[in-house]
Amino acid sequence: MADTPRPKHSPMVQFSVTGHCLQVGGMSLTRLAQRVGQTPFFAYDRQLLSDRIRELRRQLPSSLHIHYAIKANPMPALVQHMAQLVDGLDVASAGELRVALDTPMPAECISMAGPGKSERDLSTAIAAGAVVHVESSTEFERIMELSTEMGVPPRVAVRVNPDFELKSSGMKMGGGARPFGMDAEIVPDFLKQVFSHDVEFMGFHLFAGSQNLRVESLKEAQQKTVDLALRLAQEVPGPLKILNMGGGLGIPYFPGEESFDLSQLGPHMEQLLSSIHAVRPETQVVMELGRYLVGEAGIYVCRVVDKKVSRGQTYLVTDGGLHQHLAASGNFGQVIRKNYPVAIGTRMGTQDREEVSIVGPLCTPLDLLADKMELPRAEVGDLVVIFQSGAYGLTASPQGFLSHPAALEVLV
Ligand SMILES: *Cc1c(COP(=O)(O)O)cnc(C)c1O
């Protein structure tokens, strides 16, 4: 019987290898672990972060503004680095706003979105002069009450729940019934309410979906986004300062997935921007990205603390696990568990290989970092590396679960 070839992980070539050891931020992983002083840790490579933004700017229209959605990775040092490279920061809470305001980014280039913003979220954003993306009419009333009390007219944009979705995206954020934004069909009436108040109206925010690897799906969603936004813009008496058309670019995590082809997106977006500027020359078009900007620049590193065989299956037990990297365990939105790209960072390219499962120290079968992967033969003391870990890693994990010591994060 002919073997059907098993799909493979996209090669992780962003980090180089010297003498069987992964190199991170200009030093060997072993040395980096010594420098950090403990495992587990997350390391983010600032050169890779910079390269990614440079590549986006090279491929996409020069007038397009790129925002970083900091919920993907809110580590303050990383956000500082990103703030020097992007045109704006998107935050989802007063806590993220504080991190954003510590950077040199001007407040008017910071926006806050998310359902159920608290009074503290709203009042800190208004006081800062950040743009608040309104997600309901109750929220708008709350914003007006707070801003009247504070004597500061708010900067607002309306977040629209589109009447379509981004096909083949990992997470759908619009289309159908959603808790995000206001349904497109009620926006015209809502705008009348908005314009009867003393607000600085900034524009619209539409976010159809995330983690998309298919250029065609994204192009289609972008076209529909622009059509809808321009239709709604007819109800806007003054300038439409901002059109935030969402993001959605994904990165390859699982076997068979390939990098998003940016070269096909550039010409399409060039056209889209021209069509917007033909009717709305004043509009600043924004694309907001989280994972695509930071995901591939980060790794999670943990150490093998035990190696055991159970009924023929070899387990590497590490000091890191799902409490620090929920997504790699398959429990952050995945329907079917698949392996992240994993390597033995201290035995790169060695020929002696074996099939292992890599687990963490938690007493639950969910704590699985690699399920039956063929990897270089590893021993206690070796370092396990999980790639594609720069986004939705530590802060998207239940760190208190089982009360193990905290992981560290470093920017190298
Ligand atoms: C989460 C989020 C993003 C970032 O999504 P990524 O998949 O990380 O690019 C962007 N915009 C909004 C409104 C979000 O909620």
pLDDT given for residue 386 in this prediction: 98
pLDDT tens-digit map of 225-282 = 999 999 999 999 999 999 999 999 999 999 999 999 999 999 999 999 999 999 999 9
Give 288 Cα–ligand 1 centroid separation in angstroms: 7
Same structural domain, 182 and 304: no
In a domain, 55, yes or no: no
pLDDT given for residue 130 in this prediction: 98
Same structural domain, 278 and 406: no
Protein residue closest via CA to atom 14 of ligand 1: 69
Same structural domain, 317 and 272: no
Protein residue closest via CA to atom 7 of ligand 1: 210
In a domain, 72, yes or no: no
In a domain, 378, yes or no: yes
Q: Which atom of ligand 1 is least distant from the CA of 173?
A: 15
Question: Which of 172, 210, 296 gets mutated to test ligand 1 (max ligand atoms within 8 A of its CB)?
Answer: 210
Which residues' Cβ are closer than 6 Å to ligand 1? 69, 71-72, 90, 113, 207, 210-211, 247, 288-292, 391
pLDDT band at 296 (very low <50, low <70, confident <90, very high): very high
pLDDT tens-digit map of 150-163 = 999 999 999 999 98
Same structural domain, 121 and 179: yes
In a domain, 351, yes or no: yes
Cβ neighbours for 200, distance < 8 A, ≥ 6 positions apart: 153, 154, 155, 156
Length of the chain equals 412
Looking at every residue in the chain, the average pLDDT score rounds to 96
| Inter-helix orientation angle 46-59/76-83, to 10° | 30
Task: Give the structural domain span for 304.
Answer: 17-44+296-411
Same structural domain, 242 and 389: no
Protein residue closest via CA to atom 4 of ligand 1: 290
Q: Is the previous residue joined to 40 through a cis bond, with omega within 30 degrees of 0?
A: yes
Same structural domain, 274 and 233: yes
Same structural domain, 111 and 29: no
pLDDT above 90 covers a percentage of the chain that reads 93
Pairing of strands 313-318, 353-359: parallel
pLDDT given for residue 2 in this prediction: 56
In a domain, 70, yes or no: no
pLDDT given for residue 58 in this prediction: 98
CA of 225: how far to CAs of 128, 188, 215, 300, in Å? 29, 16, 15, 36
Q: How many domains does the chain have?
A: 2
Last residue of a domain, one of 289, 324, 356: 289
Question: Which of 66, 173, 286 gets mutated to test ligand 1 (max ligand atoms within 8 A of its CB)?
Answer: 173
pLDDT given for residue 410 in this prediction: 98
Residue 173, pLDDT > 80, answer no
Give the integer Cα–Cα distance in Å for 95 and 105. 16
Same structural domain, 135 and 271: yes
The pTM is what? 0.96
Last residue of a domain, one of 244, 268, 289: 289
Residue 199, pLDDT > 80, answer yes
pLDDT band at 3 (very low <50, low <70, confident <90, very high): low
Give 69 Cα–ligand 1 centroid separation in angstroms: 6
pLDDT band at 220 (very low <50, low <70, confident <90, very high): very high
Same structural domain, 281 and 306: no
In a domain, 365, yes or no: yes
Query: What is the domain-level CATH number for residue 374?
Result: 2.40.37.10
Q: Which atom of ligand 1 is least distant from the CA of 113?
A: 13
From the CB of residue 199, how many other CB atoms can be counted at a distance below 10 Å?
A: 18
Same structural domain, 256 and 373: no
Q: Which atom of ligand 1 is least distant from the CA of 295?
A: 8
pLDDT given for residue 166 in this prediction: 78
pLDDT tens-digit map of 78-115 = 999 999 999 999 999 999 999 999 999 999 999 999 99
pLDDT given for residue 165 in this prediction: 78
In a domain, 71, yes or no: no
Give the integer Cα–Cα distance in Å for 129 and 155. 7
Last residue of a domain, one of 289, 313, 332: 289
Same structural domain, 273 and 124: yes
Q: Which atom of ligand 1 is least distant from the CA of 170?
A: 7
In a domain, 101, yes or no: no
Query: What is the domain-level CATH number for residue 160?
Result: 3.20.20.10
pLDDT tens-digit map of 392-411 = 999 999 999 999 999 999 99
pLDDT given for residue 272 in this prediction: 97
Same structural domain, 307 and 184: no
Q: Which atom of ligand 1 is least distant from the CA of 292?
A: 9
State the average pLDDT over residues 338-363: 98
